[in-house]
Structure 1
């Protein structure tokens, strides 16, 4: 078994795949729980008064959690190999800048932004955008001097900037640096602030938790009129790139970093005897238990049965803690993940009445804590499947997109849909709007194509990296 936590790749892959799926299913003909809880069908208008979550509301938190869980593998390892903290901060800022550019570039080259109605010019430009992203973000496998690698990237960025400035957009739109993909922009902010916090607290969990407590105080005090905390909350040197409220997602990223440390410690000690000494019935029970906790919270909060949901959660969480109270190896890892997840789930449910119920937007503390807890459960679930039972082949469709998430995120909009339109078969998608089942099948088909293309590039070692 290689020294890699496949569960982490699978969690990231699950988040990306469901992100694509939720964006490609029929727009308004499916049940309400198939969309964000705050944008119900049939009109899909955003309603901030609606509380509760659906599986779609777990997609982004799970990806943020996976980002944080990768910090120990990308940051702590480099620090242990001799990189200075200053060097690591520089790399974090560079990554944030690259992701911000990525967010701006792709947003300007979605076909519906380029032309309305969409036409051949828009589809070809979208494909060109997809092609240019390769030299910008891949690590070229060919042997060449470092200066040549840098030159290729500089040229790619230069072409992208020229295209952004000279392209004619639909509806009189012009290039605007503030017009960006909000999902990627939030990830860029978390890549910078989450990494910097981890860099200076990687050797002290207490300090990391302390930073979150201070952040919570600022986020809450920032709502007080005419206070110094509100001045901090409202200040932004770059309104198109950063707002203080973005930092609320650190309550998902930082717990993710703790999960990553659990995984790293487990990998350092891992050997086959751990697998043999672990009772398989416990592994099966943990699959069922973690899955039950996730489903119960989704159903209970979506239907607003909050008291019943809490009552059901308590015995489920206690049984998991009791089941994993002793053991080493996998059991120790599962105990750490489950205990942290159980604490955050209960914390999130205790915050549920606060801020008008658990909501994704604006994100409430109940939402942030609960989704972090459910992410711990999902990581545990996937660790059992991917790393304990070693279901490598059957989970490859999750793991491989998880190793290439940037490509998986845009391949549908910048390659598949433009090609479908250029080939003249886009009109066939209309038939998927006949009923809810066909509407869901539409999303499955388009998501499957995105997964297959991403898997192909991953298999040939063509990764997009910042």
Structure 2
């Protein structure tokens, strides 16, 4: 078969689109609690940090982080093979981290609802202008484009952005602030920077990479001890608007992602002639069981049927073990081993820190979602690569190849367009029913996916 990373793009795209969808589900209705973050249950949606559970909404961010970590070996190995030194690669990693941090600050200053809780037409137009400016600032120009044109576009974009940010005002008469940023992208910037560096300098030493997780666990368990150097280092930040050690907890997901990335990179570049599975029946069973593992964890952890969940997981993992143990190709077996390890480790930690929670994130949350991300990759790879159903996932794959466009297309483009054309009032007719309100979110997410897919088809990518 032709080996490509389409399933990885699909995982990234699925995560980003579900992230968009989860942010467009109406509150205050009668949708079940599993349609929201576990700590934001209906009908009041008041944040309850003591409420354990896991919903599909809680999976989208860790799935995206995992996909990002998995991509590091692909992107950085290409640079290493071309002869780029570790020092230069490190500078490029720093540049990427700063670009992401700048992206986080930029989009938060141009979001219409950040400008005004009740956006005016001017606020909506500012959002669209921000979307256009992002192309000037972040577009990855083809090598065929004259460098003078690239510099002219970049400088023009920077000048307009600076002038805009210097004159825009925000609620409470506030102005531009480095502390006003999109927290999700800022976490991505931190984990992308440190995760890439960790992979670069441990690419030949898996034990050292896993050992770093041990130190992260140590900091996690000791950071609250007053007077300790652990507590001081945890709270210390020379640039609080840019970096916090707290953000690096998400390396619990990114670092395992780099391990899977190593495995996939070697497999994609091997001379193996084997298919993923020896038979179609095996592939069908794997598709069903990997999906079942994800669904069962969501159902039983949210309903707090912990013993039942553990038993069901063990049964499903045993089923997969007997399916893959005699396969000719080792990839699925290796992925299964790692996925099983992280799932079982996460379930073992479930009783710790008051049960699995996204906010504040628990160790169980990091480890379990890592394992579920691996099984989701196996699920997608089986359908896309083995059953050759890439076209079925075309929109999702294309969105995964342009994730930052997908991330902002809703808030900076489609929402302003719908408001300025009054089409939003048409879509709002669906809010008469909770599930129709959810369908409105699906329509909006589809618009976003089409937008990201369009730019992908035109080979227009952002430098993030």
1:317 corresponds to: 317
Distance 2:184 2:25 in 1: 19
1:294 corresponds to: 294
Q: Structure 1, residues 39-81: CA drift from partner, whole Å, max 9, x if none? A: 1112211110000110000000000000000011011221132
1:216 corresponds to: 217
Unaligned runs of 5+ in 1: none
Distance 1:226 1:110 in 2: 40
1:4 corresponds to: 4
Distance 2:281 2:2 in 1: 25
| Counterpart secondary structure, 2:90 | helix
Asked if structure 2 preserves the Cα contact closer than 8 Å seen for 1:429 and 1:442, the reply is yes
Q: Which runs of 4+ in 1 moved over 4 A?
A: none
Q: Structure 1, residues 143-180: CA drift from partner, whole Å, max 9, x if none? A: 34435424432432332232112112344232111011
Aligned in 2, Cα 1:119/1:280: closer, same or farther, shift over 3 Å?
Answer: same
Distance 1:109 1:277 in 2: 48
Aligned in 2, Cα 1:439/1:218: closer, same or farther, shift over 3 Å?
Answer: same
1:275 corresponds to: 275
Aligned in 2, Cα 1:22/1:277: closer, same or farther, shift over 3 Å?
Answer: closer
Asked if structure 2 preserves the Cα contact closer than 8 Å seen for 1:114 and 1:122, the reply is yes
Asked if structure 1 preserves the Cα contact closer than 8 Å seen for 2:276 and 2:332, the reply is no
Q: Structure 1, residues 76-132: CA drift from partner, whole Å, max 9, x if none? A: 221132111111111111111011111111111111122342111001100000001
Deviates more, 1:55-64 or 1:274-283: 274-283
2:264 corresponds to: 263
2:342 corresponds to: 344
Unaligned runs of 5+ in 2: none
1:122 corresponds to: 123
Q: How does 1:57-456 map to 2 (within 5 A)?
A: 57-141=58-142, 143-146=144-147, 148-269=149-270, 273-275=273-275, 278-329=278-329, 332-456=330-454
Aligned in 2, Cα 1:270/1:451: closer, same or farther, shift over 3 Å?
Answer: farther
Distance 1:388 1:28 in 2: 42
Asked if structure 2 preserves the Cα contact closer than 8 Å seen for 1:10 and 1:398, the reply is yes
Task: Give the paired residue count.
Answer: 463
Q: Structure 1, residues 172-191: CA drift from partner, whole Å, max 9, x if none? A: 23211101100000000011
1:23 corresponds to: 23
Distance 2:143 2:228 in 1: 56
Asked if structure 2 preserves the Cα contact closer than 8 Å seen for 1:344 and 1:369, the reply is yes
Distance 1:154 1:208 in 2: 40
| TM-score with structure 2 setting the length | 0.97
Distance 1:40 1:126 in 2: 31
Asked if structure 2 preserves the Cα contact closer than 8 Å seen for 1:134 and 1:464, the reply is yes
Distance 2:282 2:149 in 1: 53
Distance 1:172 1:270 in 2: 62
Asked if structure 1 preserves the Cα contact closer than 8 Å seen for 2:70 and 2:262, the reply is yes
Aligned in 2, Cα 1:54/1:121: closer, same or farther, shift over 3 Å?
Answer: same
Distance 1:79 1:140 in 2: 22
Distance 2:259 2:277 in 1: 25
Distance 2:277 2:190 in 1: 42
Deviates more, 1:79-88 or 1:67-76: 79-88
What is the CA distance between 1:379 and its match in structure 2?
A: 0.6
Distance 2:425 2:143 in 1: 41
Distance 1:276 1:213 in 2: 33
Distance 2:143 2:7 in 1: 30
Aligned in 2, Cα 1:324/1:431: closer, same or farther, shift over 3 Å?
Answer: same
| Counterpart secondary structure, 1:20 | helix
Asked if structure 2 preserves the Cα contact closer than 8 Å seen for 1:76 and 1:202, the reply is no
Q: Structure 1, residues 208-253: CA drift from partner, whole Å, max 9, x if none? A: 0011111211221212121111111111111111111111100100
Distance 1:203 1:80 in 2: 15
Aligned in 2, Cα 1:359/1:240: closer, same or farther, shift over 3 Å?
Answer: same
Q: Structure 1, residues 324-377: CA drift from partner, whole Å, max 9, x if none? A: 112333xx1111111101110000000001011100011110000000000000
